[in-house]
Structure 1
């Protein structure tokens, strides 16, 4: 500093040049430049350096992305392509692991097929189906008919807990079991029906309709002349059934024909008295599938008098 002051003093005193020696000047900075200008210049250099660095980083990221985008499948010779069985350049749908080409499968997948599809085998393995279950054996129709003497008193509520019918309570009217199964059908028959109240058998019930309760009725109906009579039908249910038929004759021979609507067994039973009346209880046992019917016909087979030889009908019951 002392040397510099002396030089400045000598310059002023000698009136010489004011130029400072080159060795004491700072490059690019004049003696009167303020310090703030130096700070701004340094900040400008720093910002340019950051900008250049950011551009370089961005260029690297763009180049890396472009490179990764070109690798959308395994390269030829890649071990993964050889193991998965997928052609080079083909992408596998998401969610299906590369198991098509493993040992034990039907072979590598054919290009263009969806995952897990296979071309048909030239010799397909025959499918093994479960043996057919044989149908349950059907019950063969069954039928039997017996005749016994009619009891003096008949309780239809007891003997016909499934269904029953009574004829002749008032004229030729019919009374049925209230809430019965409806299995009995009056199918009519040839000849005019006539009411009668002189039967020896007395019939009672406690569950009838339209007559709810009756005790000791001797009523019934009859029809005269050979070939005339009554026809009934009883529906099958698949279960064994027993039918009780209460009927009689007066100076005639009656014929009871029983058969099945499905064909098969049939039976005929006769009852006669040439001189007076005769009654009987016919017991019919049968078994038929649903939809089939037991067919019953009670007719005059022969008359022994010109005065209305006939067959009569009181009641029928099913249990």
Structure 2
């Protein structure tokens, strides 16, 4: 009777957490063959192996994840010092709200890798200072000498020359191809011409008269305060000007000055009874753009019959 009750008793499978038994309950279960028991044991071993395999695989995945991402900060912070769960910033300071990925992210960089710093642009070379223009000293010297019997204007006026009176009071002959630096600035009083000067003039490079030989011509102005004004352009280099002039029953005064700050010079010649000629030599140097200004005037007339100053030629070299 007892055996019959045991055979009818339902056998519950052993579960995790049950107290260990001294023997497997299936081994005592009546009515089962040894083969059934072995099959059941093998099935349970396979289930245990499957569970252990799944646990080992989970441990392996956790280990790989740990090695890949690094050890999390125990204080609850993630990489970069941010609190757990905080997202990374979507932009850089000053660029919030802009498309950070468009044109700002350098492609091909690994995590935490920064693009190389750009090479510094070469500094532009400092401008070369312009050398200061040399200072041209203002030089002026005047002297007188006897006029040669015949003056060759082609020789003494290698840069420029002018001759007056060849064909009357308004007649002027200039050096052909000259520099044009000599200017007739006019003067005061009526200008007349004469043809009996004691010295003569010659040239071979004139215009409009190409050549002349032994010309005694000149021009004059009568009365106190009347006379001529001439100008010679400066170019920064030392130049020599020769003025061929004279007086008739008068005292003449030559004033030489530079248009820039500098010295001035005055020379006089006179003849109370007849005529006198002279060669004024003016040596000067002045900055380019300035001028030498010459005035030749009657300082005093000794005759009421046209005491005057005369002018024949000016040459520059």
Stretches of structure 2 lacking an aligned partner (at least 5 in a row) = 1-67, 71-79, 81-91, 93-99
C-alpha displacement of 1:139: 1.2
Helix, strand or coil at the partner of 1:278 = strand
Note if 1:298 corresponds to 2:296.
yes
Q: What secondary structure sits across from 2:186 in the alignment?
A: coil
**Other structure's SS at 2:155 match:** helix
2:160 counterpart of 1:163: yes
User: What runs of 5+ residues in structure 1 fail to find an aligned partner?
Assistant: 1-74, 103-108, 110-114, 119-126
Q: What is the Cα deviation at residue 137 of structure 1?
A: 3.0
Residue of structure 2 in register with 1:309 after alignment: 307
Q: Could you say what secondary structure the match of 1:158 adopts?
A: helix
Residue 140 of structure 1 deviates from its aligned partner by 1.3
Partner in structure 2 of residue 92 of structure 1: 106
Give 1:129 shift.
Answer: 6.0
CA distance in 2, matches of 1:164, 1:255: 22
* CA distance in structure 1 between the partners assigned to 2:297 and 2:107 by the alignment: 86
Is the 1:164–1:318 contact (alpha carbons within 8 Å) kept by the matching residues of 2? yes
Q: CA deviation at 1:272?
A: 0.4
Runs of 4+ in 1 over 4 A off after TM superposition: 87-90, 99-102, 115-118, 127-134
- Cα distance, 1:289 vs. partner? 1.9
Using the size of structure 2 for normalisation, the TM-score is: 0.62
**Structure 1 residues 183-194: aligned runs within 5 Å:** 183-194=181-192
- Residue in structure 1 matched with residue 316 of structure 2 by the alignment: 318
Could you say what secondary structure the match of 1:157 adopts? helix
Q: How many corresponding residue pairs?
A: 216
Aligned residues of 1:230 and 1:298 also touching (Cα < 8 A): yes
2:193 match: 195
Tell whether the 8 Å contact from 1:100 to 1:116 is kept in structure 2 after alignment: no
Query: Hey, what's the Cα distance between the residues in 2 that align with 1:100 and 1:218?
Result: 98
Does the C-alpha gap of structure 1 residues 301 and 76 become closer, same or farther in structure 2, counting only changes over 3 Å? farther
The answer to whether the 8 Å contact 2:205/2:211 transfers is yes
| TM-score normalised per structure 1 | 0.61
